[in-house]
Amino acid sequence: MPSIDLTPAADLLTLAEAARPGGPGQDLVALLAAVCDIESVSGDEGPLADAVETMLRAQPHLEVLRDGNALVARTHLGRERRVVVAGHLDTVPLADPPNLPTRLVDGELWGRGTVDMKAGLALMLALAVDLGRPGALPTCDLTWVFYDQEEVEAVRNGLGRLAQRRPDLLEGDFAIVGEPSDGGIEGGCNGTVRVEVRTRGVAAHSARAWVGVNAIHLAAPILDRLAAYVPAEVDVDGLVYRESMSAVGIRGGVAGNVVPDTCVVTVNYRFAPSRSVEEAVAHLRELFAGFEVEVTDAAGGARPGLDAPLAAAFAQAVLATTGGAPRPKYGWTDVARFAGLGIPAVNFAPGDPLLAHKDDERVPVAQLAPCRDALRAWLLAAPDA
């Protein structure tokens, strides 16, 4: 493939103009590299939000509003239907050594955020500039949402904040969330619950351990139950969701010469969208009967929603253009928030979800333009056909 200049650039407007279909370079790769190279670990999205806001406010066809580091840009074309396209600005922390700036290797762009989910953001930025102008008028009104703090606790989520403060800004007939889906549609999402499972012992000097009770040793049955746990596979409206349960943290002890009197195992349960949060918590309490179980974070899942007319039409369009048949989304995404607002939603973007959050995160350059063009073609056609 031709050489591409990946020099970091905060001028997203110039790059987005070039990345439009029919633009002077159609350079989605440079746009994606620039978006990734503006580091935006959760809580530090300000510089990227500023750059995106500058780009959006230069578009006369968009009304732009900002709430903290979340941005909403809307067209007002008088269309009968409105489609919301949303994506989060933040990433998980960088690897050690850092996996930024991005680098292009054998047709893949490597670096933090390339998959989760700045490939989706690059498509959104290119199409936000393109669609709504004369000559590129979609058959529906569009709302573009760029928000902060998705990769952390649900209570900090910028889309959730918008839903509480300005739910009117998120109103629509259908939503597309730009989470990585390998160029196909991933319907719905699993729910997630994090709990702390606690044991209590008796502190003592480690030289006289027999007068104490070691709380870390008492945690062995918790780990045994997790190791023996067999995750369910659940058919929900034609898509099979695979559940998972993992210990994601353990802490205990105050010093190297003290028998610890407390130990906490943090467990994350990803459950099929046929379960409610309450049912998932009850399942955890049953599994860890005999131990203290405290819920620290929870978010419900979302059923596939592919029976909604707009969702079905979009799924057909994606299948026809990229060949991607609908699959389940195993990770939690903000399709669940849209489902909670009564808006059918799907996940759609380039990038292999299995590479999300990995140190070797990378996206095939060849996936970018087909995903952009599939979404653009559908938005320019009759979305309710």
How far from 374 is each of 129, 188, 247, 348, CA to CA, in Å?
16, 20, 39, 10
Task: Name the strands in the sheet holding 362-364, side by side, starting at the edge strand that comes first in the sequence.
Answer: 103-105, 108-110, 362-364
Q: Which residues lie across from 198 on neighbouring strands?
A: 264, 292
Q: 243: part of which helix (H) or strand (E)?
A: none
Peptide bond before residue 344 is cis, with ω within 30 degrees of 0 = no
| Residue-level length of the chain | 385
Q: Which of 39, 150, 182, 361 is catalytic?
A: 150
150 catalytic per annotation: yes
279 counts as catalytic:
no
Residues 6+ apart with CB under 8 A from 189: 273, 301, 302, 329, 330, 331, 332, 333, 335, 336, 347
Distance CA 170, CA 165 (A): 11
Query: Which is the catalytic residue, given 17, 27, 45, 90?
Result: 90
| Residue 187 contacts residue 339 (beta carbons within 8 Å) | no
d(CA 3, CA 255): 55
- Residue pair 357/93 in contact (Cβ under 8 Å)? The answer is no
Query: How far, rounded to the nearest angstrom, does the alpha carbon of residue 15 sit from its chain's CA centroid?
Result: 24
Tell me the three-class secondary structure of 14-61, residue by residue: HHHHHHCCCCCCCCHHHHHHHHHHCCCECCCCHHHHHHHHHHHHCCCC
**Pairing outcome for strands 239-242 and 233-236:** antiparallel
> Which residues are part of the catalytic machinery?
90, 150
